[in-house]
Structure 1
Amino acid sequence: MNPVSPFPRSGNWSELPPAAGAAVMATGIVSVAMHLAGYEAASLATLALACLLWLVLACDFGNRLFGERARFRAEADTPAALTAVAATTVLGTRLSLLGLQSLAAAMLLLAVVLWPLLLTAVVRHWRRRMPGAVFLVCVATQGLAVLAATLAVATDADWLAETALAAFCLGLLLYLEALLRFDFSHVLEGAGDHWVAGGALAISALAGSKLTASTVWTGAAHEALRTATLVTLALALAWYAVLMAAELLHRRPGYDIRRWASVFPLGMTAAACLSTAPAVEIGWLRPLGEVLLWIAVAAWLWTAAAFTRAWTRPEQPHPAA
């Protein structure tokens, strides 16, 4: 697996590794969570920033695909490449919540095209004792479920809800497979992407909440989705507690670009709580989600400031991960 550089070369966006896609994921989900919490102005501001970041990284993605094929093939084999799919679905979800359904549908189509190509490349190179980025196979798949379910509610498209359910179930299976390959020593030693172990369950809970809120599912199907949502959210919160405790016991204050992959699960867990609260009618999840949201915002601000300092400083060496 290619090493991840914690520092981009000064001022050169083309030197950013695929892991930089987590910055779009983190910014986009913070926007979604702020919207769910009712902070619309802040949500729109972070949405604008997420769109800008997505466009910059999309241009770089296209440049590597058509101009640097050898580099693209090497990077496409790594789990971090799936941030392209996850970032697109998170951004598309926020656009759908804004009422831009055609644009959100276009984002879903793009993600659907990228997903099998990148997922196949990543799975072919799976191995034992992998870092937390391995859980991006689940995150990318559940991102499709979240966006499809959101669009299904907005457009009354039952087939999209059924597609979202299929992606939700597949995402859970991929999570179990990734869990078997995860190197648990990264909980104490990881550079940031170890948080995706919990974030993958949080986005699964968000997908479940969107499906539970749909009128397509009634009776036993609705109750099964409600149970699955609560179980995945409970497991996500358990991971949150474990990972936060590990951060306090084994502090890693230095900046690494994989820290964006820590911010994303923080924001996703907040969004999952805020979305699940009305879907399953458990009121205390909303205040919990708001507390977690401000933790995510604080982490986002710290990471953004550290990234800016790293990007503008003189060129740094690229140590192996």
Structure 2
Amino acid sequence: MDPVRERARPAGLPPAAGAAVMAAGILSVGLHLIGHDPLSLAALAIAALLWLVLARDFAVRLTGDRGRFRAEADTPAALTAVAATTVLGTRLSMLGWQAAAAAALVLAAVLWPGLSYAVVAHWQRRMPGAAFLVCVATQGLALLAAVLADADRQAWLARAALAAFCLGLLLYGAVLVRFDFREVCRGAGDHWVAGGALALTALAGSKLVESPVWTGWTHTALRTVTLVALGLSLVWYVVLLAAELGRLRPRYDVRRWATVFPLGMTATACLSAAAPTGVAWLRRLGEPLLWIAVAAWLLTCVAFAAEHRRSRRTPRRLPRRPPGASARGG
């Protein structure tokens, strides 16, 4: 292959870009819950388009650049492929497109074991917030399985959702003891996933609480765990917001999409948990939090556009010729 053409080939999107799908997808879910369906469908269209772009990029690397694929599969950001698919599938199920949602669940379930194992095998002592994506991906499976179980009245799927839910809780604890808490003050955006993972846990829990499969002490335990997870996610929200205001980090970074997702997830979890847990004020809290998440999404879009425009205007530097080289050849 011509080396000049090889260098000109685009590098492709980083795995962390999957958080953009997650952000748009969960905003679509939240906007639907408060009755803003036109905005919800617009966010869904954006999420679906981004998902297709990332899926194509994922397939190209898998088939054409196995070395890079294996290297990126070891990073926590690779799990956004699973999480983004489950969030998108959840919204499709809410539209009544159960076959598409089931296909999303199957795809996510196929991707989850290999990617999770690759990430867990490379855990270290001090890890960034992106490490919590192993919990996010697992709770995403629990959420989509619980939504489909309710839609299709499938008890076995509800039990599978509960198993994933419990595993997600264990994974959260395993990551928390390895999390580098200095990231709260210096992280580039993905540190918000520490709270977002708990918010997704609460959202998945709220769907399990709604299921008629669980009664008695099991239902009570699920309600309690859901409220505790949601309460802790709100504590994270306050702590992380205070840290952001104390040390502003306005520069765009692709990991900022992993900030928008937890903001939207926390709001959506409040909206979803209000009815099944019987805590009505959670809905009153969730609505303003959702509009904060929408504003954060818009600001991140503006920052991305500005950064993209700046990078296009920056001229590429030609490599220097070694001393004594002629103008024609090296």
Give me the TM-score of the superposition, normalised by structure 2.
0.91
**Counterparts of 2:218 and 2:12 in 1: how far apart (Å)?**
47
The counterpart of 1:168, out of the listed 149, 159, 165, is 165
2:300 maps to 1:303: yes
Structure 1 position 314, deviation (Å): 2.8
2:80 maps to 1:83: yes
Structure 1 position 257, deviation (Å): 0.5
**Counterparts of 2:10 and 2:133 in 1: how far apart (Å)?**
23
Asked whether the 8 Å contact 2:74–2:118 carries over to 1, the reply is yes
Structure whose CA Rg is larger? 2
Question: 1:75-114 maps to which residues of 2 (within 5 A)?
Answer: 75-114=72-111
Question: 1:12-23 maps to which residues of 2 (within 5 A)?
Answer: 14-23=11-20
Aligned AA (2:110): V
**Counterparts of 2:14 and 2:241 in 1: how far apart (Å)?**
26
Residue 61 of structure 2 corresponds to 64
**Counterparts of 2:136 and 2:50 in 1: how far apart (Å)?**
19
Asked whether the 8 Å contact 2:196–2:266 carries over to 1, the reply is yes
Structure 1 position 64, deviation (Å): 0.5
Residue 286 of structure 1 corresponds to 283
The counterpart of 1:190, out of the listed 184, 187, 192, is 187
Name which structure has the greater RCO, CA cutoff 8 Å, separation 6+: 1
**Counterparts of 2:304 and 2:94 in 1: how far apart (Å)?**
29
Residue 131 of structure 1 corresponds to 128
2:144 maps to 1:147: yes
- Structure 1: give runs of 5+ residues left out of the alignment: 1-11
Structure 1 position 313, deviation (Å): 3.2
RMSD: 1.2
Percent sequence identity is 69
For residues 201-222 of structure 1, give each alpha carbon's deviation from its aligned partner in whole angstroms, at most 9, with x where no partner exists: 0000000000001110011110
Secondary structure at 1:15's aligned position in 2?
coil
**Counterparts of 2:183 and 2:81 in 1: how far apart (Å)?**
23
Give me the TM-score of the superposition, normalised by structure 1.
0.94
Secondary structure at 2:234's aligned position in 1?
helix
The counterpart of 1:229, out of the listed 202, 226, 230, is 226
Asked whether the 8 Å contact 2:12–2:57 carries over to 1, the reply is no
Residue 26 of structure 1 corresponds to 23
Aligned AA (1:159): W
Asked whether the 8 Å contact 2:26–2:268 carries over to 1, the reply is yes
Secondary structure at 1:29's aligned position in 2?
helix
Asked whether the 8 Å contact 1:14–1:60 carries over to 2, the reply is no
Structure 1 position 14, deviation (Å): 4.5
**Counterparts of 1:250 and 1:205 in 2: how far apart (Å)?**
29
2:233 maps to 1:241: no
Aligned AA (1:278): A
Structure 1 position 99, deviation (Å): 0.4
For residues 172-205 of structure 1, give each alpha carbon's deviation from its aligned partner in whole angstroms, at most 9, with x where no partner exists: 0000001011100000000000000000000000
**Counterparts of 1:26 and 1:311 in 2: how far apart (Å)?**
19
**Counterparts of 1:314 and 1:188 in 2: how far apart (Å)?**
27
Structure 1 position 102, deviation (Å): 0.2
Structure 1 position 13, deviation (Å): 7.1
- Structure 2: give runs of 5+ residues left out of the alignment: 1-8, 316-330
Structure 1 position 287, deviation (Å): 1.1
2:116 maps to 1:119: yes
Residue 74 of structure 1 corresponds to 71
Secondary structure at 2:252's aligned position in 1?
coil
Aligned AA (2:98): Q
